[in-house]
Amino acid sequence: MTAKIIDGKAFSAKVRAAVATDVETLKAKHGVTPGLAVVIVGKDPASEIYVRNKVKQTAEAGMNGWHYELPAETTEAELLAKVEALNADPAVNGILVQLPLPKHINESAIIAAIAPEKDVDGFHVINSGLLATGGRAMVPCTPLGCLLMLKDTLGDMTGMKALVVGRSNIVGKPMAQLLLDANCTVTIAHSRTRDLAAEVAQADIVVAAVGVPELIKGAWVKEGATVIDVGMNRIPKEDGKTKLVGDVEYAAAAERASAITPVPGGVGPMTIAMLLRNTVTATCRQNNIDPDAL
């Protein structure tokens, strides 16, 4: 079998167009313009690129955007004060503090300070608790993007065996929760899993989010499975340059899977699209507007 390539670039463009239409409706029908504030502390080059893209796409969707670039020496108290000011600002519907933060700042304390209803990353414990108990959570962007791609590819996933490789709070755990909500039988594998090959071989759906280049071998993948690769690992090439690879051995996996996401161009572009979608969702909830009625 040769896999269908799940095109995250094209899919995310469709999501962003739908978000832009919703923003137009919110403005025209409700007089509300969604607003997203993005805060970055220090000058990590990879984070700066991510944040620039987030700010650019916020504007392209017709939303208000604020981009705060704070110096690396910013204290935890100063960052908390910034978050509290954004919590109190009614024009700001979503707040994103880019991670990682400098080592002298406690990330958990900052995430806990963000008003849960403005937590468009879905990292606040209130939101992870709501997700775990079937409530109205803000859902973390990367797993939400993976879920959308899976639904688009597979439709109803009831009864399927899903394997999530990785147990982070940002991807693995919420992904498992979303697959459980979609009626899959879910296994979470991690670095201490005894026989990863055997787990992969049983899975109808594999979501790989471990951050280990090509850990999951193509030969392990069950014939006809759907593979979502969240990994973004930069590795050296023979010519001294670098290349981006996922957590799955792509070419070999594509020979066995029925559908697979490439790296780059798979999950990556969906994450920012979901951030914009979450900002619209947050805006609707804060204004008692039904997002399904837009």
Residues that bind ligand GUN (CB under 6 A): 50, 96-99, 121, 141, 271
DSSP for 199-252?
Answer: HHHH-SEEEE-S--TT-B-GGGSPTT-EEEE---EEEE-TTS-EEEE-SB-HHH
User: Tokens representing 224?
Assistant: 């006809």
CB of 86 to ligand GUN, least distance (A): 14
Rounded to an integer, what distance in angstroms lies between the CA atom of residue 118 and that of residue 251? 40
Q: Are 191 and 132 in contact (CB under 8 A)?
A: no
Helices (H), 31-171: 45-60, 76-88, 107-113, 125-132, 141-154
98 is catalytic: yes
- Nearer Cβ to ligand GUN (12/271): 271
Task: Check residue 72 and report its DSSP letter.
Answer: T
User: Tokens representing 198?
Assistant: 């055997």
CB of 99 to ligand GUN, least distance (A): 4
Residue 142: how many other CB atoms lie within 10 Å = 24
Rounded to an integer, what distance in angstroms lies between the CA atom of residue 291 and that of residue 234? 38
CB of 90 to ligand GUN, least distance (A): 22
4 is catalytic: no
The one catalytic residue in 22, 57, 82, 98 is 98
CB of 260 to ligand GUN, least distance (A): 22
The one catalytic residue in 54, 82, 161, 173 is 54
User: Tokens representing 260?
Assistant: 């697979």
The one catalytic residue in 22, 57, 119, 121 is 121
Residue burial 56-72, b: 16+ Cβ < 10 Å; e: rest: ebbeebbbbbbbbebee
- Nearer Cβ to ligand GUN (145/262): 145
CB of 162 to ligand GUN, least distance (A): 22
- Nearer Cβ to ligand GUN (98/261): 98
121 is catalytic: yes
- Nearer Cβ to ligand GUN (142/226): 142
- Nearer Cβ to ligand GUN (98/281): 98
Residue with the shortest CB distance to ligand GUN: 99
Q: Looking at the annotation, which residues are catalytic?
A: 54, 98, 121
